Amino acid sequence: MSSMNEHLESDFWNIICFLVVSAANLEWEKKEYGPLRLLEVATRLIKVLRDHGLVSKRLDVVQKRINENKYLIMTDESHFNQFLQSLALELVDLMED
Amino acid sequence: MDLIEAIKTRRSIRTFADTAVEKESLLELVNAGVWAPSAGNMQVWRFIIITDSNQIEKIKNLSPGIFSKPKAVIAVCSDFDEATKKSGLQGERFAIIDASMAAENILLAAHDKGLGTCIIGSFHELALQKLLKLPPNIKPILLIILGFPAEVPKPPKRKFEDIIWWEVFK
């Protein structure tokens, strides 16, 4: 495996571990952590893509919005839910024609 | 640092600067931990200190509650066999309470040293037990991730009303 592929494999390995353990843990964790874990995976995937040379303004926007708001789950769940809904709507603006 | 000031200014720190934490400091933190109260003086807490970055990466992969890469992790564990031997059916409950009190001491001692910490409860217990080579009787209760803070969040509001009653619950 080339060194770049090894790096990519390692980055994806970390994400796969996160997904598997998150799925296993959701059986007993509070249900609001489900969306949080999905958002976290989204930001990690965007980071991997950027690290491997993919430039995308709209992905950067999504990542920034998630990173700025994900911890609302710890302090204000209703605000967190509002953020989720607004991010879903914002995706429409970011869609290309 | 004044104790009440330390209690009120400690925050859960989730992102860390790229500065190593001295092993000596980590030992001092655990030393603060073992001065916590212990039910029936059981002292069945066990501490695994992890500083190796590869091992931290593996812990992170088993702990969805860890969002960034800490410089060190202290796994606060309890010996449940010894707890049951010393305190019977109450042993397991006491072991968890003791581990939590030790953890709070560690958090405050870390804050006093300018270190940031966060308690992590979201991890896969059995997988972590396997990774840390813990025997079946020693279970991880919680993880403390730590390092020098990269950012300090604002504190969430604390409730004071509707949580306190005098003499009896009303």
* Domain CATH number, residue B34: 3.40.109.10
In 3D, which of B21, B45, B17, B51 has the Cα closest to residue B32? B45
Tell me, yes or no, whether B167 lies in a domain.
Answer: no
Where in the sequence is the domain holding A59, given as residue range(s)?
3-94
Q: Across the interface, do B122 and A33 touch by the CB < 8 Å criterion? A: yes
Beta pairing partners, B45: B78
Query: Do B140 and B128 meet the contact criterion of CB atoms below 8 Å apart?
Result: yes
B35 vs A75, which has greater pLDDT?
A: B35
pLDDT tens digits, A52-90: 999 999 999 999 999 999 988 888 889 999 999 999 999
Q: Is A37 on the interface with B (CB under 8 A)?
A: yes
Tell me, yes or no, whether B46 lies in a domain.
Answer: yes
Q: Over 90: is that where the pLDDT of B106 sits?
A: yes
Q: Over 70: is that where the pLDDT of A97 sits?
A: no
Number of domains observed in the structure of chain A: 1
Q: How many whole angstroms separate alpha carbon A2 and alpha carbon A94? A: 34
Question: Looking at chain B from residue 101 to 120, which residues have their Cβ under 8 Å from any Cβ of chain A?
Answer: none
Where in the sequence is the domain holding B136, given as residue range(s)?
3-147
Which of these ranges, A28-32, A34-38, A62-66, B14-18, has the smallest mean pLDDT? A28-32
ipTM of the assembly? 0.78
> What's the pTM?
0.89
Instruction: Kindly provide the b/e burial profile for residues A5-32, where b requires at least 16 CB atoms within 10 angstroms of the residue's own CB.
Output: eeeeeebeebbebbbebbeebeeebeee
Average pLDDT (B74-91) is: 96
Q: Across the interface, do A40 and B14 touch by the CB < 8 Å criterion? A: no
DSSP letter for each residue of B117-137: EEEE--S-HHHHHHHTT--TT
Number of domains observed in the structure of chain B: 1
Q: Across the interface, do A25 and B156 touch by the CB < 8 Å criterion? A: no
CA dihedral (B65, B147, B70, B6) in degrees, to 10, reads 0
Tell me, yes or no, whether B166 lies in a domain.
Answer: no
The pLDDT assigned to B98 comes to 98
Where helices occur in A52-97 by DSSP H, the ranges are 57-69, 72-75, 77-94
The pLDDT assigned to B154 comes to 87
The pLDDT assigned to A63 comes to 96
